[in-house]
Amino acid sequence: MNDVAGAQRINGEQMLKFLRSYGQIGVFVILLLVLSFFTPRMLTEVNLVNLARQTSIIALVAAGQTLVILIGSIDLSVGAVLALAAVVFAGVLQDGFSFPVALLAAIAVGGAAGLMNGILVARFRLASFVVTLAMLSVAKGLTLIYTGASPIAITNPTALIMGQDRWFGLPAPIWLAIAVYLVLWVVMRATIFGRYVYAIGGNEEAAVLAAVPVVRNKIYVFTIAGVLTAFAGAVLASRLGSAVPTAGDGMELIAITAVVLGGISLLGGEGRVWATIVGAALLNLISNALNLLNVNSYYQAVATGCIVAAAVLADRYLRASTRR
């Protein structure tokens, strides 16, 4: 092969690699510009802040899912655990306890659910799909038992801060999401836990043979996912001013969609944590635009599904062409 062709091929490969790593951001920006052309209200401050706030809630919910997907598993119990944590949060507040106690209680519930998932998946080697499907049912049932299927209002003013206040001009959930992702980013990049998560997802057998404590780290991942989900539930309840037992319905699919749209491989081991924020933003942007365009919500669901499929298809193509 001559040098010019070789150089071009390498440039082409680098381009594809770049697209694979940062393509979603490009898609997001282009989509934003195109949509703003059709809907003048898109680029108004109100709409953008609104968009960011919705994105932050989804991003919080999808943070745990990201870790779980990075180890090559899946967590279907996200929505149900989120609702359970939210009602526990509101219920403990209603019983007269202070905000920190309520938050800790919610996180403990979420962490326990995640720990259970983790033990069953890692220690007893059950499929995460089935384990978390069972957890979904259990958590959903517990939520209904706890609430009698009616919402619990939050009246404690301190508890409403993290959902409803503005800090430095932006809604608090946005800052909370940023904080969570900053921590996750550092953890995944610089700590041994992060290294192990990628190794387990990339090739579990290789990780076992390299003396990586696979079982323990998988349990950590599911537990952390439970904690993050519970935190998201508390933030959501705080934002809405009440915990609704059905608040988490379908949330697991939204979380998985955000992760996938962010370009994180469902096979595990590949993808960056921040990509989930971009995925969540993309997902929101699509529904936001369809709203502004007055598209019937039934059609919106169809459109979202098609867009997700197209995104995954593009991702697969880019992945296949950057690897042999």
Partner 1 sequence: MASGHPLFPLEIEGISKRFGAVAALTDVSLRLEQGICLALLGENGAGKSTLMRILAGAIQPDTGRITAAGQKLVLPDARAAQRAGVYLCHQELQTVPQMTVRQNLELGSETTSFGFVRKASGLETVTRELRSLGFSRDLDTAMGELSIAERQLVLIAKGLRDETQLVILDEPTAALAPAEVTHVTALVRRLVTAGKSVVYISHRLDEIGHVADRVLVLRDGMIVGELPPTASEELVVKKMVGREIRDLYPRRERTPGELVLSIKDLHTAGASGIDLELRVGEIVGVGGLVGAGQKPLAQAIYGRQPLISGEIRAGGDSLRNHTVADAVRAGIGYVGEDRRHEGLVLTHSILDNITLPIARQESFAGFLKNRRLAATAAELAATLHVRSAGLQQPAGELSGGNQQKIVLARALATKPRTLILLEPTRGVDVGARADIYQLLDDLTRQGLGILLITSDLSELLGLSDRVVMLYRGTVSGHVSKSEANAERLGALATGQGARQ
What secondary structure does DSSP assign to 163-183, as a single string? HH-EETTEEHHHHHHHHHHHH
Instruction: Please choose, from the candidates 222, 7, 30, 197, the residue with its C-alpha nearest in 3D space to the C-alpha of residue 111.
Output: 222
Q: In this structure, how many other beta carbons lie within 10 angstroms of the beta carbon of residue 230?
A: 30
Q: Distance between CA 139 and CA 78 in Å, rounded? A: 10
Q: Is 141 an interacting residue with respect to partner 1 (CB under 8 A)?
A: no
Nearer to partner 1, 143 or 217 (CB): 217
> 242 forms bridges with which residues in the sheet?
153
- Any contact of residue 208 with partner 1 (CB under 8 A)? yes
Instruction: Select 199 or 247, whichever has its Cβ closest to partner 1.
Output: 199
The residue within the footprint of partner 1, chosen from 115, 178, 202, 249 (CB under 8 A), is 202
3-class SS of residue 39:
coil
Residues contacting partner 1: total by CB under 8 A: 23
Residue 205 makes contact with partner 1 by CB under 8 A? yes
The CA distance from 106 to 91, in Å, is 10
Q: Please tell me whether residue 196 binds partner 1 under the rule CB under 8 A.
A: yes
What binding mask, one character per residue, do residues 261-280 give for partner 1 by CB under 8 A, x or -? --------xx----------
Query: Which one of the spans 139-147, 177-185, 207-215, 253-261 is the region binding partner 1 (CB under 8 A)?
Result: 207-215
CB nearer to partner 1: pick between 43 and 192: 192
Residue of 290, 288, 292 lying closest to 302 (CA atoms): 290
4 versus 211: smaller Cβ distance to partner 1 = 211
Calpha distance 317→163 (Å, rounded): 40
Task: Report helix, strand or coil for 272.
Answer: coil
Q: Does 125 bind partner 1 (CB under 8 A)?
A: no
252 or 270, CB closer to partner 1?
A: 270
**Residues found near partner 1 in the complex (CB under 8 A):** 190-193, 195-196, 198-199, 202-203, 205-213, 269-270, 323-324
